[in-house]
Chains A and B, each alone.
Chain A
Amino acid sequence: MKETIDSLAKKVRSDFPLLRREISGRPLVFLDNASTTPKPRSVIDAVVGVYENATANVHRGVHAIGEEATRLFDDARREVAGLIGAQPSEIVLVRGTTEAINFVANGLELGPEDEVVFPASEHHANWIPWRVHGKPVPMPIDEDGVPQWDSLEKLITKKTRLVSIGHVSNVTGAIAPVEEVVKIAHAHGVPVLLDAAQSLSHLPIDVQKLGIDFLASSSHKAFGPSGVGILWSKKEFLAKCPLYQVGGGMISLNQDIDVGGFVPRDAPFKFEAGTPAIEATIGFGAAVRYMRQIGLDHIREHDMAMSRYLIEGLAEIPGVRVLARKLPVEKRIALATFVVDAPAMTQESVARALSDMFGVCVSAGFHCTHVLHARTKLAGTVRASPHMFNTTEEIDALLEGVREIAG
């Protein structure tokens, strides 16, 4: 197990400049990848490269630099499409997962009685849109925040317009049974949206194989820059989906007021009004190239070994409760959310102590899942989320810190 973890970690660590940092004289242990990942040198170079060599607007400039920027930008979309088994024309570039889900919520033109079924444990990005568009139908969760998937069938009614699920929970790390969900939902004629924010850099994804209807994800949790993400959908939906923002760049023809209306371009461009996040998108493409070079299967192998090492290590510490600790590694990613019994210390305070005293960076609080925490009666949790560059030695540093705080 250790060798599986450390061999990949040691191979890729030097690619990440951030990991050379120290905090108060201690080496940085970055275990907050579920919030955002550090960026490898190739992504940084790609972004800086745009600024240094190819600063121009895309899909506009006819000069050499403009064409070069456009090529880099379009290549990025192709890279991302390739990563999930999609066509570039099915990829709408958005600001991130949240915007992608809002895009679908808007595009489905839900009425107040139109129901959307989703696990109550979902991130606010996959909760709040359904409070605003349509009628939310949260799926029950167990005492550890894991969805009770066997309740899905009963929750789907004639009014259900969408089933929307997180591929991987940002709190428990549990992997959703996507294909089974799709099977049930499609049997009722209901489409499925997959929030892949947490899974894009951890699991191989093939939208065709999964059979889903929508996929939303972000660049910044997959080694790319923040400010860009994707909505993938089938061409049929994109063709009929209403425009939610309009302006420059998405127009095929704008006729004068006494002549006629305007003609938008085809998808995906008709949804991308205004100058896009050019540098971030090109960086996203570089991030995808980087992950593909490493190999998603190798990343997953590291992930499962790391999951076991992390969960078992935390679970052995008296005074520590790990959510969903019994989930087998095949059904989770390497992410552990836990509560440290350190009286009078909030979980945020625990996380700050880990940073101040051990150089370990983790998240704490509610992780944008107020309902999960309310239903599981937790006043906050700590979340450690390693990735492929993390070593067993770093997990040992976390465990030492937690042991010290809980002791």
Chain B
Amino acid sequence: MSPLDDVRTRATRDEDHAGRTLRAVRSALTHVPFYAKLGWKAPEESAGSLDEALRAIPVLTREKMRASLPKAWMPEGRDVKAELASGRLSVVEIGASDTRARVVLDAAWWRAQEARALTVSPRIAAALEGAYGAYKEAVLWVPERGTGSCGAGDPVYADRLEGPRLHLNSRQDPTFWTDVVMDRMLDELAQHETVGLFADPFYLDVLARHASETGRKLHAKGFVALTRALTTARHRQDLAHVYEGPRLQVYAAREAGTLFVEADDGLMHHAPFATHVELLPAKVATPGAEDVALVVVTTLDREVQPLVRYVLGDLVQVARGAEGRFTTVSPIRSVEGRLEDALLRPDGALVTAAAVDRALAPLGASGYQLTQRSADAVEVEVVGASDDAAVAAVRGALAPLTGALRLDIRSTTSISVEPNGKVRTCRRSLPVALTSAFEGITP
């Protein structure tokens, strides 16, 4: 089965979204051993509105999910071994180090929900239906077809093909991509006759800068979709140098599905039938961002490892007043980065990574990183902020957001990278209690 088989299933409005969600929650809490062990109670028929019913249920964190085996996620009565052995299901690792978790992935479910969700974008829908020639896509994100921790050689082109999808990279850490590897990726984008490129913006930025330096362009006849991470102004700028076609935002997570897709109104609309998303409003101030909410996901048609009130960990700006096209879930204006990266002010306010990026974007720095290790100060490293005027400009840009936080600003030649080779523009090592920062979470 290829993604093309699902193209006919276009996104339509789900008139029974609330009912579908409640049934999915009841089914999961009743039939899945993982939830039985937690002792979570399924909502009664008389539980009231969807929001009321859900808010009576605790939230599921990745930490809780991490301490479980795949078999705990199989609904009762299913033959765990047979289904896993059949190859229909696989176990994949998501996240890195202390945020890692195992996810049981039903590839058929993923493809179906993804193909349907992508049609939220008229542009992608047209591409899937052949508007730019036979639909072929390439992906550039945490490699699914790559080497393990011990290494086992790099898969060749044919081994990185999955139907019409080409997995461009096989090594996770882009700081070790060589020029030869990036030339190969650019060559393959053309060779594959790529219509749509789905990419982690950080990974794509590395490739885009290489393309720019070598005078090349990105080949994608239909669109480039940025997904799975915060896209910074710098990423957009670098991409614009080498790609003139449409750039779209797709908000998806391996464990939860494709949640929001940018439509022709510039907003990201919730995709129907696969998930319900609670956008839990921040109780605290969020300078530089409006209507900030925490994303909590409940899956609707995921039979294996159904998620109930799963805290995805991202913050978004809700498009207040805009109607969801396909479900009752509000559209979102932007993905604001991870909660764990937001700065925490002494007055409890949260400053999102995207808010910081918007504030610093006009300065045009090629790189920066804010690190908060203490409650009252933030270390700010900015590439090339080597004189007093530059430091003052950074301070001036950040001060309206950071309030009483002390800013220790210094110039640097480069920004340190994470173990996966990505750069986090903001990092915080202080905890934030979900219950005190967001509505709808019971202690």
A residues neighboring B (CB under 8 Å)? 24, 342-346, 348-349, 352-353, 356-357, 364-368, 370, 380, 404-405, 407
Instruction: Please give, as numbers and ranges, the residues of chain A lying within 8 Å of B70 by CB-CB distance.
Output: 342, 344-345
Interchain residue pairs with CB less than 8 A apart (17):
A24-B63, A343-B80, A344-B85, A344-B90, A344-B104, A345-B91, A348-B149, A352-B93, A356-B66, A356-B67, A356-B100, A357-B68, A365-B150, A367-B150, A370-B151, A380-B150, A405-B69
**Cβ 8 A contact of A346, one of B69, B87, B104, B148:** B148
B241 on interface, CB distance cutoff 8 Å = no
B285 on interface, CB distance cutoff 8 Å = no
A357 touches B67 (CB 8 A): yes
B residues neighboring A (CB under 8 Å)? 63, 66-71, 80-81, 84-85, 87, 89-91, 93, 100, 102, 104, 148-152
Expressed in whole angstroms, the Cα–Cα distance for A198 and B87 within the complex equals 37
Expressed in whole angstroms, the Cα–Cα distance for A366 and B150 within the complex equals 6
B428, chain A: closest CB distance, angstroms: 21
A380 touches B69 (CB 8 A): no
Expressed in whole angstroms, the Cα–Cα distance for A366 and B66 within the complex equals 24
B67 touches A24 (CB 8 A): yes
Instruction: Please give, as numbers and ranges, the residues of chain A lying within 8 Å of B100 by CB-CB distance.
Output: 352, 356
Instruction: Please give, as numbers and ranges, the residues of chain B lying within 8 Å of A380 by CB-CB distance.
Output: 148, 150
B63, chain A: closest CB distance, angstroms: 8
Interface centre among B87, B93, B102, B150 (most CB of A within 10 A): B150
- Which single residue of chain B is at the shortest CB-CB distance from A370? B152
A332, chain B: closest CB distance, angstroms: 22
A343 touches B81 (CB 8 A): yes
- Which single residue of chain B is at the shortest CB-CB distance from A401? B69
Expressed in whole angstroms, the Cα–Cα distance for A343 and B91 within the complex equals 9
Expressed in whole angstroms, the Cα–Cα distance for A24 and B67 within the complex equals 9
B314, chain A: closest CB distance, angstroms: 23
Interface centre among A343, A349, A352, A365 (most CB of B within 10 A): A343
Expressed in whole angstroms, the Cα–Cα distance for A37 and B85 within the complex equals 36
Q: How many A-B residue pairs have CB under 8 A?
A: 59
Instruction: Please give, as numbers and ranges, the residues of chain A lying within 8 Å of B84 by CB-CB distance.
Output: 342-345
A32, chain B: closest CB distance, angstroms: 13
Known: A365-B149, A366-B152, A380-B150. A343 touches B85 (CB 8 A): yes
A365 touches B148 (CB 8 A): yes
B151 touches A366 (CB 8 A): yes
Instruction: Please give, as numbers and ranges, the residues of chain A lying within 8 Å of B85 by CB-CB distance.
Output: 343-344
- Which single residue of chain B is at the shortest CB-CB distance from A349? B91
A343-B80, A349-B102 given. 4 additional CB < 8 A pairs?
A344-B87, A352-B100, A357-B67, A357-B68
A346 touches B150 (CB 8 A): no
Expressed in whole angstroms, the Cα–Cα distance for A342 and B81 within the complex equals 8
Expressed in whole angstroms, the Cα–Cα distance for A353 and B68 within the complex equals 8
Instruction: Please give, as numbers and ranges, the residues of chain A lying within 8 Å of B66 by CB-CB distance.
Output: 24, 356
A346, chain B: closest CB distance, angstroms: 7
Instruction: Please give, as numbers and ranges, the residues of chain B lying within 8 Å of A349 by CB-CB distance.
Output: 91, 93, 102
Instruction: Please give, as numbers and ranges, the residues of chain B lying within 8 Å of A348 by CB-CB distance.
Output: 93, 148-149
Expressed in whole angstroms, the Cα–Cα distance for A349 and B149 within the complex equals 11
B87 touches A404 (CB 8 A): no
A61, chain B: closest CB distance, angstroms: 34
**Cβ 8 A contact of B69, one of A357, A364, A365, A367:** A357
A346 touches B91 (CB 8 A): yes
B145, chain A: closest CB distance, angstroms: 13
Expressed in whole angstroms, the Cα–Cα distance for A407 and B71 within the complex equals 9
B69 touches A353 (CB 8 A): yes
Instruction: Please give, as numbers and ranges, the residues of chain B lying within 8 Å of A405 by CB-CB distance.
Output: 69
Expressed in whole angstroms, the Cα–Cα distance for A365 and B70 within the complex equals 20
B150 touches A344 (CB 8 A): no
Known: A344-B84, A344-B85, A357-B68. A352 touches B152 (CB 8 A): no
B150 touches A368 (CB 8 A): yes
B38, chain A: closest CB distance, angstroms: 15
Instruction: Please give, as numbers and ranges, the residues of chain A lying within 8 Å of B89 by CB-CB distance.
Output: 344
B130, chain A: closest CB distance, angstroms: 34
B84, chain A: closest CB distance, angstroms: 3
Instruction: Please give, as numbers and ranges, the residues of chain A lying within 8 Å of B152 by CB-CB distance.
Output: 366, 370
A66, chain B: closest CB distance, angstroms: 35
Instruction: Please give, as numbers and ranges, the residues of chain B lying within 8 Å of A365 by CB-CB distance.
Output: 148-150
Expressed in whole angstroms, the Cα–Cα distance for A346 and B151 within the complex equals 14
A401, chain B: closest CB distance, angstroms: 10
Expressed in whole angstroms, the Cα–Cα distance for A348 and B151 within the complex equals 12
Instruction: Please give, as numbers and ranges, the residues of chain A lying within 8 Å of B69 by CB-CB distance.
Output: 353, 357, 404-405
Expressed in whole angstroms, the Cα–Cα distance for A364 and B90 within the complex equals 18
Expressed in whole angstroms, the Cα–Cα distance for A348 and B104 within the complex equals 15
Expressed in whole angstroms, the Cα–Cα distance for A344 and B85 within the complex equals 6
Expressed in whole angstroms, the Cα–Cα distance for A357 and B69 within the complex equals 8
Expressed in whole angstroms, the Cα–Cα distance for A342 and B152 within the complex equals 21
Expressed in whole angstroms, the Cα–Cα distance for A405 and B90 within the complex equals 15
Expressed in whole angstroms, the Cα–Cα distance for A24 and B66 within the complex equals 10
A186, chain B: closest CB distance, angstroms: 35
A368, chain B: closest CB distance, angstroms: 7
A352 touches B67 (CB 8 A): no
Closest 8 CB pairs of A and B: A365-B150, A343-B84, A344-B84, A343-B85, A366-B150, A345-B91, A344-B90, A344-B91
Expressed in whole angstroms, the Cα–Cα distance for A136 and B254 within the complex equals 44
Instruction: Please give, as numbers and ranges, the residues of chain A lying within 8 Å of B80 by CB-CB distance.
Output: 343
A381, chain B: closest CB distance, angstroms: 10
Expressed in whole angstroms, the Cα–Cα distance for A301 and B100 within the complex equals 39
Expressed in whole angstroms, the Cα–Cα distance for A349 and B150 within the complex equals 13
Expressed in whole angstroms, the Cα–Cα distance for A357 and B70 within the complex equals 12
Instruction: Please give, as numbers and ranges, the residues of chain A lying within 8 Å of B68 by CB-CB distance.
Output: 357
Instruction: Please give, as numbers and ranges, the residues of chain A lying within 8 Å of B102 by CB-CB distance.
Output: 345, 349, 352-353, 356
Instruction: Please give, as numbers and ranges, the residues of chain B lying within 8 Å of A346 by CB-CB distance.
Output: 91, 148
- Which single residue of chain A is at the shortest CB-CB distance from B87? A344
A234, chain B: closest CB distance, angstroms: 35
B61, chain A: closest CB distance, angstroms: 12
B129, chain A: closest CB distance, angstroms: 33
Expressed in whole angstroms, the Cα–Cα distance for A366 and B152 within the complex equals 8
Expressed in whole angstroms, the Cα–Cα distance for A407 and B33 within the complex equals 15
Expressed in whole angstroms, the Cα–Cα distance for A368 and B85 within the complex equals 27
- Which single residue of chain A is at the shortest CB-CB distance from B105? A344
A337, chain B: closest CB distance, angstroms: 13
Expressed in whole angstroms, the Cα–Cα distance for A407 and B89 within the complex equals 17
Expressed in whole angstroms, the Cα–Cα distance for A404 and B72 within the complex equals 11
- Which single residue of chain A is at the shortest CB-CB distance from B71? A407
A161, chain B: closest CB distance, angstroms: 29
A125, chain B: closest CB distance, angstroms: 14
Instruction: Please give, as numbers and ranges, the residues of chain B lying within 8 Å of A367 by CB-CB distance.
Output: 150
A367, chain B: closest CB distance, angstroms: 7
Expressed in whole angstroms, the Cα–Cα distance for A364 and B68 within the complex equals 19
- Which single residue of chain A is at the shortest CB-CB distance from B81? A343
Expressed in whole angstroms, the Cα–Cα distance for A348 and B102 within the complex equals 11
- Which single residue of chain B is at the shortest CB-CB distance from A407? B71
B150, chain A: closest CB distance, angstroms: 3
- Which single residue of chain A is at the shortest CB-CB distance from B86? A343
Instruction: Please give, as numbers and ranges, the residues of chain B lying within 8 Å of A353 by CB-CB distance.
Output: 69, 102
Instruction: Please give, as numbers and ranges, the residues of chain B lying within 8 Å of A404 by CB-CB distance.
Output: 69
B142, chain A: closest CB distance, angstroms: 15
B62, chain A: closest CB distance, angstroms: 11
- Which single residue of chain A is at the shortest CB-CB distance from B63? A24
Instruction: Please give, as numbers and ranges, the residues of chain B lying within 8 Å of A370 by CB-CB distance.
Output: 150-152
A347, chain B: closest CB distance, angstroms: 9
A382, chain B: closest CB distance, angstroms: 12
